[in-house]
Amino acid sequence: MAKLFVFSLCLLLIINCSLGSRQQFQQQNECQFNQLQSREPDNQIQSEAGLTESWNPNDQQFQCAGVAMVRRTIQPNGLHLPSFLNSPQLIYIVQGRGVLGVAFPGCPETFEDSQDRQFQHQQQFQPFQPSRRHGGQGQQQQQSEENQDRHQKVRHIREGDIIALPAGVAYWSYNNGNQDLVAISLLDFSNEQNQLDQQPRRFYLAGNPQDEFSQQQGQRHQQGRQQQQQGRQQQQQQQGQGGQQERGQQGRRGQHQQGGNSNNLFAGFDTQMLAQALNVDEEIVNRLQGRNDDRNEIVQVQGQLDFVSPFSQGEQEGRRQMGGGGRANGLEETFCSMRLKENIRDPSNADFYNPQAGRVSVVNSGTLPILSALRLSAEHGVLYNNAIYSPYWNLNANELVYVIRGNARVQVVNENGDAILDDEVNEGQVFLIPQNHAVITQAGNQGFEYISFRTNDWALINTMAGRTAVLRAIPEDVLRNAFQIDRQQVRDLKNNRQETRVLSASSSSSRRPWSIMA
């Protein structure tokens, strides 16, 4: 009895704490729907080496959940420029492989070239030149150290990886594979990590990218920037009448602002001030500011991208199979070395499996500890043709579902018993399952593969059919009187399904489609 009380208390604490960060936002957005719809991207931005597609974050469904969705396609040898967001995000790799670099503030550059190797290489091709100040070999060693490439850890990513990134942390990604690298991202702008307004914002550190969300939102932001620039110019003109030097500085600022049509953070600074801060030439600063860069946010790398990496992706897999990897409990992690990804598509990581129906894998703060700070989780599922995901509702989270492959019929029911979504969803579409709304999904003839994002790091569901269904927890007499059925019918209702989440269809239609099996 005492154990049950402790468990119940812990469960209540989890639910209350996880809902606390969203309570204020939900009071402003009551999420009252008469109808839900599956959505395709509203906006497309073509870059030199890829495509960025986004769903309108002002859509009522996304405003209810407080999230935005982006799908990014990077061509082989393409580089998505360094950027960061005002919100935490989860990224799922739909297709391909690549490299992800994350720059955590204040963390050491733990990936570096071998100083001995570079020094020996210089000794082979450079004559010995003694120095009075440092001594010949000491000077060469110092120059070798200065020429070393040092950077923070890079991570190899592949299809099926779920990647967690905190708000404000800069990152870049590169496609080193032979096929397009496709990623779908959820941006949780209602999260407590976002201290700005309830709109997704991406801040670029390079290039001249367009606004990746709605074009109207991008136009409003551009108009706002122009008004701010005009206001600064008028203020500088009023203050610039005090002397020739001040007028000269004002002229330089005016020229800078008139040419400031780039959309990265460096572009907003005065060229001379930034050159002094970085201790570099103004020509380099002009490159940083990217005013004449028309490649957009995904650029084509000339040659191949060179960076320090201890081993290839294949060696990583071999090391994991030999026991060098495995899931950690989070106790050994620090801020600089925290694990950011987990492969959720690997069948060996399935949490629920039915040979006749499919499999489901869940990643939460128990398997990926960083999610406890982001308050997010994810689920990947593969349903074989005509299989059913048990009807359920989310106790403590909204859920956004992205269709990876195949199709399914989905019904979502509100508190009035109305089906506010009853539609076929197809590859590339997104739909919302609001908190506490019931949902049932049945795969089509070609099967159904999906990735869902939930706005809670320990999201809980309550199923309505199967061995763990809510009906099995209720006494027979309660069900008999509630539904006005006899005792045998109640027992059939409670016991006819012995499966858990993934329910098989009839035996004649339970064969697994090859297109979803991989």
- Over residues 448-483, the pLDDT tens digits come to 999 999 999 999 999 999 999 999 999 999 999 999
Neighbours of 91 (CB within 10 A): 24
Q: What is the predicted pLDDT for the residue at 128?
A: 40
Single-letter code of the amino acid located at 212: E
* Cα distance between residue 275 and residue 269, in whole Å: 10
Whether the CB-CB separation of 432 and 57 falls below 8 Å is answered with no
Sign, CA torsion 475/479/484/485: negative
* Nearest by Cα to 490 from 480, 478, 503, 504: 480
Distance CA 43, CA 320 (A): 40
Angular region, 168: left φ>0, alpha ψ -120 to 50, beta rest = left
Confirm if 379 and 412 have CB atoms less than 8 A apart.
Answer: no
Question: What's the distance, Cα to Cα, between the start and end of the chain in Å?
Answer: 46
Cα 453 from Cα 456, distance rounded (Å): 9
Neighbours of 249 (CB within 10 A): 15
Mean residue pLDDT of the chain comes to: 80
- Using CA atoms, how far apart are residues 373 and 58, in angstroms rounded to an integer? 26
CA dihedral of 124, 126, 127, 131, whole degrees rounded to 10: -120
Give the C-alpha separation, 369 to 374, whole Å. Answer: 10
Q: CA 222, CA 217: separation in Å to the nearest integer?
A: 9
Give the C-alpha separation, 372 to 369, whole Å: 6
pLDDT tens for each residue of 290-340: 888 889 999 999 988 877 677 544 444 444 444 444 444 444 456 777 899
Closest by CA position to 206, among listed 101, 113, 107, 276: 101
346-503: CATH topology: Jelly Rolls (2.60.120)
In the chain, residues under CATH classification 2.60.120.10 are 33-111+150-214+262-307+339-343, 346-503
**pLDDT score recorded for residue 67:** 94
Mean pLDDT of 358-364: 97
Distance, in Å, from the CA atom of 275 to the CA atom of 265, rounded to the nearest integer, reads 14
The pLDDT tens digits for 394-443 are 999 999 999 999 999 999 999 999 999 999 999 999 999 999 999 999 99
CATH class as words, domain 33-111+150-214+262-307+339-343: mainly beta
Does residue 132 carry a pLDDT above 50?
no
Mean pLDDT of 71-99: 96
pLDDT at 355 > cutoff 90 = yes
Residue 413 tokens, joined: 């029911």
